[in-house]
Copies of this chain bind each other. A is one copy, B any other.
Amino acid sequence: MVVKELSVDERYNLIMRNLQEVLGEDDLKKLLKKKKNPVVYWGTMPTGSISIGYFFPMLKIADFLKAGLRVKILLADLHGALDGVPWEILEKRYKYYERAIVTILKTIGVSINNLEFVKGSDLQLDKNYFHDLLKLSTYTSFKNCKKAASEVVKNVEKDSAKLSSFIYPLMQALDEEYLKVDMQFGGMDQRKIMVLAREILPKIGYEARIELLNPIIRGLVGEKMSSSIEATKIDLLNDENVVIKKVKGAEMVAKNPNNGIMSLLEYFIMVSKCDNGQSFVIERPEKYGGNLEYKDYKSVEKDFVEGKIHPLDLKNAVAQEINILLKKFREDKKLHALHKNAYC
C-alpha cells in the first residue's frame, strides 16, 4: 500500500482536500503524528431514495483510506426511524441503502475490505449506550437539542414535532464514543450536531472528537438537493433520458459558475477523473471549435467564466459522465428490487 510512504503533511492534506471546515483542526495534526491509523466514521440514515450526491462523501472516504485512516460507515437505521421513517419499513430501507452504498464505493474504486460497515441498531441497542444516553439527556437542554437537530431532522420547528427529533442529536454524539472513533465526517448540515457532540461528550467523561465537514453540494434547481423535490437531484436509478432531462433543466447562467452542475463537476466528476488520471471531455462539432479536454476543475471553471464553454455543451458532457457512472446501478436487478421494496 502507498499509505506507509505518505508523510504526516501529505496525509493531512489528503484528509483536508475539499473539506469546508474542521472542528478541532489542531488536534487533527497531533492525531496524525501520534497515530498511524486513526479511525473516522461517516453515518447516514436510510430515509429517501439515494441521489448521486452520495458519491461526494464516498470520494472523501477514498481520500481518508489513502491517508491511512480506518473508516467506519454507520448505516443509522434507528436514526432513520427517529426522523420519521415508519418502523415497519426501516429494515427494507436499510437493505437498499446498504447495497446502494457498497455499489457507489465499488464504482469509484474503493475496496470495501478496507472499511467497516456498522448497523445503527446493532451498535445502539445496548444497555450501556442507553444509560449514557439518559445521562446525556440530563446534561443537555431541550433547547440545545432542538438547535442541534434543526438542519438535519425534519419538522423540528413544528408544533407536532416528535420527541424522537430531539433524542436524535444525542444519539449521534454518543455514536462517536461507541464506534470508538477519533473523528466524525459529515456534511455542513451536520455542523450543529457535531458542535453539540463536542460540548456534551466530555460532560459524561468521554473525549470530544474531531469533526470533518464537507461542503453541501447545490441542487440542480435551488440551493439544496431536496429529497422531496425530484428536479433538484439525480437518483442513482434514474434512467439515461431522465438524467439528460434533469441536467438540461438544471439552473445555469452562462459565465456564472455558481450552480449545481458546476458543484457536481467540482466535487464529484473532476475529483473522480483526477484520481483515475482521466480527462473530462466536452464534445463539440469541429465547426464550433471541436472537443475540449480538461485535467482539473479550475480550468473548466476558468473557460466557463470566460464564455469559452456554452452551458448546453457542458450540460451534455456532464449528463454523459453521470450516465456512465450510473450504468452499474441501472443494471443491478437486486438493487432495483430492494428499491422497489423500500419505497413502493
Find residues 125-155 in chain A having any chain B CB closer than 8 Å to their own CB: 125-127, 129-131, 134-135, 137-143, 145
Interface centre among A124, A137, A170 (most CB of B within 10 A): A137
Asked whether, in the complex, the Cβ of A81 is within 8 Å of the Cβ of B134, the reply is: yes
Asked whether, in the complex, the Cβ of B138 is within 8 Å of the Cβ of A166, the reply is: no
Known contacts A81-B134, A134-B167, A167-B137; A142/B125 CB under 8 A: no
Asked whether, in the complex, the Cβ of A134 is within 8 Å of the Cβ of B78, the reply is: yes
Known contacts A125-B127, A127-B126, A127-B127; A162/B137 CB under 8 A: yes
Interface band, chain A = 20 to 34
Q: Does A286 contact B (CB under 8 A)?
A: no
CB distance from A154 to the nearest CB of B (A): 12
CB distance from A128 to the nearest CB of B (A): 8
Chain A interface main SS type: helix
Q: Does A161 contact B (CB under 8 A)?
A: yes
Q: Does A160 contact B (CB under 8 A)?
A: yes
Contact of A164 among B134, B161, B162 (CB under 8 A): B134
Chain B residues contacting A129 (CB-CB under 8 Å) are 130
Q: Does A82 contact B (CB under 8 A)?
A: yes
Known contacts A82-B134, A134-B78; A140/B127 CB under 8 A: no
Q: Does A305 contact B (CB under 8 A)?
A: no
- Please report the C-alpha to C-alpha distance between residue A40 and residue B84 in the assembled complex, in whole angstroms: 34
- Please report the C-alpha to C-alpha distance between residue A129 and residue B130 in the assembled complex, in whole angstroms: 10
- Please report the C-alpha to C-alpha distance between residue A159 and residue B199 in the assembled complex, in whole angstroms: 18
Residue of B with least CB distance to A86: B138
Asked whether, in the complex, the Cβ of A125 is within 8 Å of the Cβ of B135, the reply is: no
Which 10 A/B pairs are nearest by Cβ-Cβ distance?
Answer: A137-B164, A137-B163, A130-B130, A138-B164, A125-B127, A145-B163, A142-B163, A141-B160, A142-B161, A138-B162
Instruction: List 23 A-B residue pairs with CB atoms under 8 Å apart, sorted by A's residue number.
Output: A84-B138, A87-B135, A125-B130, A125-B131, A127-B127, A130-B130, A137-B163, A138-B164, A139-B162, A141-B159, A141-B160, A141-B161, A141-B163, A142-B161, A142-B162, A142-B163, A142-B165, A142-B166, A143-B161, A145-B163, A163-B166, A166-B166, A167-B167
